[in-house]
Structure 1
Amino acid sequence: MTAVAPGPGTLELLLADATELLPTLAPGLPELAAGSAPRPARTPRSVDTLTRDMPDADPNDLALQRWSVIAPEGPAGDEALEAITPLLRLREAEQGAKVEPYRVRPGMGVAEAARWKADVLRDERVPEEEIPRYLLLLGDLDEVSAELQHVLANGAFVGRLHVAGPDGRPDPGGYAAYAEKAVRWAREPTGHGQPDALFFAADDRTGATRLGRHLLIEPCVTMARKPGRRPFPAANIVDIPGVDTADDFLRAGSAAGPSVLLSVSHGLGRPRRGWASVGHQRALQGALLVGAHGSSAPLLTAEMMQSTPFLPGGLWFCLACFGAGTPMESAFYSWLSLLAREGAYASRVQRVLESLPQGGERPFLAALPQAALRNPQGPLAVIGHLDLAWTHAFTDPSRSTQSRASRIFSSIQAMARGSRAGVALDALMRSYREVNDELLSGYHAEEDARAWNRPSPVDPVQRSSAFMLRNDLRGYVLLGDPAARLPLKGSKASCSGSAAGECGPDASVAP
């Protein structure tokens, strides 16, 4: 395949065919294609509005912010809660208060999730200082819905833990393995005062990853190395060169010290002839194409991640299609369907549509991050995409050749400075809320102009591009405990009170 340089005004997609290992959408779409993006569906005002309490409190202080867990109703939720008991005890000790788990029914839509947030989580009878702002969801997307995760993420620091066995059913042993890892690193941090910062873009000679290198990885490395009043706190800043195989990629992230990693690569989607089975899809969808073009082994799968040391005690920002999982419905379906109906870029768009969730299919988390979280020598948390991942997240809405790498770099900075993983994701979600507010303001201005019989003040192409950015940013989720942080020197778990139990024999106790 000939190397493809990203052209001016190109929308690139980080999705590859699971059999051919080639881009599903090549050579991308013209930026003008975003002009067909429809208006988003109306949602309750509280869904996309920041509602966090106590904004003056340290966001990393569990004694102030509180931590809890949300599990599905029924036996599966009971087993998951039992499996992570050591993690519950640790968080109780850190916050000085008992953890009271919440239980929810599966399949919550946006409206029901918003009501649950208002009526249960933010019950007026509960004092403000006791409402948990760190929330760990337990279960796959059909057990605790993605809609609930999104609704909660605009008022709390939210993560999700789910580990399935070979049969696809929840594996309590996997939950327990993650809990043990999280507790171990919290109680026994490393002697490192600063992490390594790793930056990687796959060398597969496609427009999407070349754009990722030029407009995300290289600007992030430049910002990390730039001196300033508050320099980037990394022991080593490593721009990982293009690797040949997935084994090379794993070795690049196997250092014993704590690390943060930003990676850009294609995630696997539907093969041209379809998946052989549901099990085949669950094993491979979202696996990463990290090796060089033409390599004999470029694919990183869950099977390879099970026990290989990779980012031990670290944090991973993984930018790839379906890198975190596959939702029930794609936020981009209506736009792509409209392009297909209009005959625009028909063959390219149709291939992408075929990779999207179909009606009646069960949503699921990707196998690769599940394996990474279960791995005792794997990362503590992964930020990934729960849908199609475009290059919108690090480019300007109206000029796709203009870098906006700072959106994602803000999350990497928060990780490296020792903030908890939920705080790091929220750094990115600020950009989501900004563009969402911009869209809402535009629609209100358009409605006012219509009421007064005036021309619309909104540029429809710019608005559509902003809508695409909004949907792209909305897809990022955190897998793992949102209270997890790099095990740096001085980060040892501390007890905030004795009533909730003990942190452990070696834990320090805050006065």
Structure 2
Amino acid sequence: MSAVAPGPGTLELLLADALDLHPALAAGLPELAAGSAPRPAKTPRSVDALWLEMPDADPNDLALQRWSVIAPEGPAGDEALQAITPLLRLREAEQDAKVVPYRVKPGMGMAEAARWKADVLHDERVPEEERPRYLLLLGDLHDVSAELQHVLANGAFVGRLHVAGADGRPDPGGYAAYAEKVVRWAREPTGHDRPDALFFVADDGTAATRLGRHLLIEPCLAMAHRPGRRPFPAASVVDIPGAETADDFLRGASTVRPPVLLSVSHGLGRPRRGWASVDHQRALQGALLIGDHGSSAPLLTAEMLQSTPFLPGGLWFCLACFGAGTPMASAFYPWLSALAREGAHANGVQRVLDSLPQCGERPFLAALPQAALRNPQGPLAVIGHLDLAWTYGFVDPSRTTQSRASRIFSSIQVMARGSRAGVALDALMRSYREVNDELLSGYHAEEDARAWNRPTSVDPVQRSRAFMLRNDLRGYVLLGDPAARLPLKGSNAALNGNTAGECGPDASVAP
């Protein structure tokens, strides 16, 4: 039986208080609140434009697309590169070419990242066929900026790997564990030729998850079962029932075949009285509220995923606030600040504002996906949100009762077909680029109207809604190697029997 959708015209947020576990925005916001978004600042065309390398080549073929790694300058970058040496050797064998790492300085903003992309990554002295389109960033968000990741993701398949210890410092052992896991699954894929597809929405009784059930999970299940010229390739499609505890969820996510999981739940944010410490925040922000807040153990935390089998060899699309991490500044801060100043929905909006990154705080990746990636019996890659996660990503911004689940289902379908994780994220980023082009077209129309002294045809409310959708889609990032794929039968064919040593005994990693 289908869940009952919340009332019409609501914008819901997947964020819960880390102490009392109640939603930060329990009543949601009316659809018209999106019309109050301030006029967005224009970004350079080079930042958001799609720049295709080898556009006529198979996107999954590393020999054609090439793979490389970007590490921060200094000892931390040296250690990370050394720790993932087995992964570098694997990718060298797949592309039959040496991996030459790039090194970058921390704190790049958008403009600097765009210049680095143009001057270094797209250096005209390097033939196009030798420029890597698969890029693995190493380090936390203060080491290699989120702005650089965003700029590179338009025109490349980009992922990020960072594993920290309890003290927050980089853990080379965690990097090595992930690299060894990817290599093991690539060399020894399963005997299955099709994956399992899992769909889960937390049954916590909130409007946000009810909307997630009604406008995302149910439409995805319908699309997965729909016959057609290219039917959904999963061997089984499982709607994991609502869980009372995280252990219930983990049991429900246990599968025989390599799985693809789409989960919808609240991510934890700042409690009303603040975090007890920075370590406390890093351990819990972005952890998932799996069951009702009144149950005995409703949270899925990093500590639980250190060694518990969870999606072994699988891929995970995790929809929750701060599910991938916390940026230096939220893209939604100007809009929420404007609502607060107007006095609109004051209590709920202020609670969300209090949950956003504070001035001077260091950005960081969430502990939960770090633990999942480090876990030898965990997934190979995670797509998650690096900011607040609203329902914009799967609804029509003009009619918030109209599902646009196909935006997210496209990524699930690409994963299930055996494509690499970076290709799956790019399937979602196509929707981002479409709405970004819509905004740019609106700017040009306004400029033309001013030049010819004519009234503009651009609807400011529609533009604000498109801007909100753009921000929501822009927040999705890939954690893990963008070249990772489900270890299905035949998935390692590109190796053609090569071993790690076949690039030569002197193929050392140059820091």
Give CA-to-partner distance per residue, 1:40-66, whole Å, 9 cap, x none.
222211111100111110000000000
Q: Compute the displacement of 1:254 (Å).
A: 2.3
CA distance in 1, matches of 2:166, 2:255: 29
SS of the aligned residue for 2:179 comes to helix
Q: Report the Cα distance in structure 1 between the residues aligned to 2:503 and 2:190, rounded to whole angstroms.
A: 17
Letter in 2 for 1:391: T
Work out whether 1:450 is the aligned partner of 2:450.
Answer: yes
Instruction: Identify the residue that residue 349 of structure 1 maps to in structure 2.
Output: 349
Amino acid at match of 1:158: V
Deviation track 1:389-432 (CA, whole Å, cap 9, x = no partner) reads 00000000100100000000000000000000000000000000
Unmatched segments (≥5 aa) in structure 2: 505-511
Is 1:369 aligned to residue 369 of structure 2? yes
Aligned residues of 1:325 and 1:366 also touching (Cα < 8 A) = yes
Alignment of 1:324-343 (within 5 A): 324-343=324-343
Q: Where does residue 92 of structure 1 map in the other structure?
A: 92
Deviation at 1:256, TM superposition (A): 3.8
Identical aligned pairs, as a percentage?
87
Q: Is 1:359 aligned with 2:368?
A: no
Aligned residue in 1 for 2:35: 35
Q: Which residue of 2 aligns with 1:18?
A: 18
Q: 1:72 touches 1:139 (CA, 8 Å); kept in 2?
A: yes
Q: Which residue number corresponds to residue 127 of structure 1?
A: 127
Q: Distance in 2 between matches of 1:29 and 1:42?
A: 26
Q: Please tell me whether residue 422 in structure 1 is matched to residue 422 in structure 2.
A: yes
Alignment partners' CA distance in 1, 2:495 and 2:240: 39
TM-score, with length taken from structure 1: 0.96
- 2:508 maps to none
What's the counterpart of residue 285 of structure 1?
Answer: 285
Corresponding residue of 1:477: 477
Q: 1:409 to 1:503 in 2, by over 3 A?
A: farther
The Cα shift of 1:181 comes to 0.1
Q: Check whether the contact 2:178–2:376 (CA below 8 A) recurs between aligned residues.
A: yes
Residues in 1 aligned to 2:256 and 2:106: alpha-carbon distance in whole angstroms: 39
The root-mean-square deviation of aligned C-alpha atoms, in Å, is 1.5
Equivalent residues of 1:256, 1:312 under 8 A apart? no
Does the 8 Å contact 1:90/1:503 carry over to 2?
no
In structure 2, the CA distance between the partners of 1:134 and 1:454, relative to structure 1 (3 Å rule), is: same
Structure 2 equivalent of residue 275 of structure 1 = 275
Aligned to 2:315: 315
**How far 1:500 moved relative to its partner?**
8.1
Q: What does 1:188-199 correspond to in 2, within 5 Å?
A: 188-199=188-199
| 2:381 equivalent to 1:388 | no
CA distance in 1, matches of 2:341, 2:48: 30
- Structure 1, gaps ≥5 residues long: 505-511
* Distance across 1 between alignment mates of 2:445 and 2:471: 21
Is 2:401 the partner of 1:401? yes
Query: How far off is 1:502 after superposition?
Result: 2.9
Distance in 1 (CA, whole Å) between partners of 2:372 and 2:256 is 16
How much has 1:451 moved relative to structure 2?
A: 2.4
**Per-residue deviation, 1:461:** 1.1
Q: 5 Å matches for 1:109-124?
A: 109-124=109-124
1:455 alignment partner AA: P
**Aligned mates of 2:428, 2:481 — CA distance in 1:** 17
For 1:59, the equivalent position in structure 2 comes to 59
2:176 maps to 176
Where 1:444 maps in the other structure, the secondary structure is helix
TM-score when scaled to structure 2? Answer: 0.96
The one-letter code sitting in structure 1 at the alignment partner of 2:230 is R
Greater mean alpha carbon deviation, residues 448-457 or residues 283-292: 448-457
**Against the structure 1 CA distance between its residues 64 and 496, is the aligned structure 2 distance closer, same or farther, given a 3 Å change threshold?**
farther
Checking the alignment, whether the CA contact within 8 Å between 2:5 and 2:214 is kept in structure 1 is no
Over 4 Å off, 4+ runs:
496-500
Q: Distance in 2 between matches of 1:494 and 1:391?
A: 38
Q: Residue 64 of structure 1 aligns to a residue in which SS?
A: helix
Q: Do the aligned residues in 2 keep the contact of 1:435 with 1:470 (CA within 8 Å)?
A: yes
1:495 matched to which residue of 2? 495
**Kept in 2: contact 1:315–1:382 (CA 8 A):** yes
Cross-structure match for 1:509: none
Q: Please state whether the residue corresponding to 1:494 is helix, strand or coil.
A: helix
Describe the SS at the equivalent of 1:446.
helix
**Residue 496 of structure 1: how far off its partner (Å):** 6.8
SS where residue 316 of structure 1 aligns? Answer: strand
> 1 CA distance for matches of 2:5 and 2:129?
52
**What is the count of residue pairs matched by the alignment?**
502
Tell me the amino acid that sits aligned with residue 139 of structure 1.
G
Write the distance in 2 (CA, Å) between the matches of 1:498 and 1:199: 36
Describe the superposition over 1:199-226 as per-residue Cα deviations: whole angstroms up to 9, x where unpaired.
0110001110000000000000000000
Q: Which amino acid aligns with 1:31?
A: E
Residue 218 of structure 1 is matched in structure 2 by: 218
Shift in Å, 1:452: 2.1
